[in-house]
Structure 1
């Protein structure tokens, strides 16, 4: 039977893109970085503060391990989806060394970067209708991964006046009988805030008391300044080990963002389930990258300390320069490589004939007028803030912030 135009018109229209995927927002940080790079490639003197990416090369001994791995035929083949046994063992040993507690290699799943670990963690334990407490400001990928898993992100906002650190009272006020997970990130992206040992233990014991899972992102564990200390939540509250998923990777510590090696550590049943998912999703991480990660994790941390020294110098310079701008308030970050100034005091004021009322509009103004790319607070939660990465060269950092100073100093 031939279909007539009228019968075709009566058939319900089908989506070209699924509602699930169509609802995902583009990564704001990557979008800002891509725009800055495109403008620079076009010959404009753009300085980008958008990407959370060290400007250092990967340490030479790690690169050499990858070169050697390329020549080994065993690395030209499929390997176990959960990761090379030698890498899973290295991650377990590194966890004992850096975090102070033991995990079995069988609890480790090696992933294609930290983002895959984030996605798979939520996909493995979150069901439709579950709520996930999400301290804000948050990394832009978290809420999208939660929604993809069918969960509902519940933002718990801590502003500049409290150093961007949420309290147990705030978490308790947001808790319902549908709360299943707390996302915990310290040191924090995007704010650089670091929870103290006492704060971490208090939050961990609250989660334990209420039977709430903790997904803890520890990828910035080695990037600490002043007297800040990294406190793994499982070390602070060992009883949480059976309801905690630890996310980490080599990207930030070892300047290996492009190598795409992350991992999740979880109870054995969760790791097995997440491995099953990964076996269908991507299978194993590239073997050459895994061999490079083994070299990174088993080597000394001297290269890491050198990078941290440079980040610390840039951090202090950036905070000093941003704090000199009237209307800008900058809590001093003590971790990661980001500053997260509040610019609420500038919104609604005229700057070169434009009156931004949101941080997104202010970020657009900064890019248009002085060719500096920053990420607006809307990417990480409420408006009124900007994120600037200080993982870029000293000269570019000073020049970029100087341009911002000159522009925002004109606010009326």
Structure 2
């Protein structure tokens, strides 16, 4: 009798059976939940467009759970990176993405995996949405052999299929993105390139040069300014004479989008991708978002803004909380189910952190590898992969 009671208790708590199979963690079945719901979303401001994205978005239960899991994983991964940095396990530059998760997840939901994406140095979130595991990302941050760039790239230089990195020089990835869009046009494969930059990079001259070429050649490029309100420690009002970044393309159509709502970002990205694929040329999106951390880990983030400001955004506009509340209030998920997902994510992050702190560092003799595709075309001091290197430390 006691064994039977224990078994029933395990079932109700989502325990495992004797053969290890996962049992249902709630007395409610999937049939009890609404399979989909329609939500009103914020209207986008338009520039040089007669019509914009829809103001209603359909969300299925499956999509909602996927978006929630992805955003929550990104959030927990960045918080773990913060912890490892403060323990001096992660060193060097490290720019965290927490608070901006709706941008990455919404963009990915609006394009295809075969489309191309390039961004600046706040790149961990996009590395994950482009298919790299948390384990490989954290191991790259700690400089380990199992990292996505074999421990040589660090926070700012991670890559995946159709993902061309984090790039460390402010604004320098935008011309590269225009070049990727030119390659898409040249190949005629109906693919687009999403080219991301921040409000701090928006005044770079090379960005306007890229706009000009993309417009002249009608390149399938979605230029996206992730406006998180501060370029390093400088507010947008102090840095830009015009803060209407979606109008900065001048002759390029633009959209101003609520970057804290994953559904608004998704619908705007779908609209932009369809515009580019139709052969009309580039389009510009400004995503109004917010970062919870400072500019980088060396920036406490509270010398130029108040803690109250950060807390207000967290309480009113947090992208993860907003999606969770929508799903629960529309009977698309239960609180217990959401909590189970959170527990699974925490476990995944802890296991990834364990790997990232125990995996060996790459050996010294690998330092010069992967600089050239094959043999170097000329003798360059310090880049010969066959030269013997010795540590003098």
TM-based fold match above 0.5 = no
Q: Bin the TM-score by the shorter chain.
A: 0.3 to 0.5
Is the helix fraction higher in 1 or 2?
1
TM superposition score normalised by structure 2: 0.35
TM superposition score normalised by structure 1: 0.34
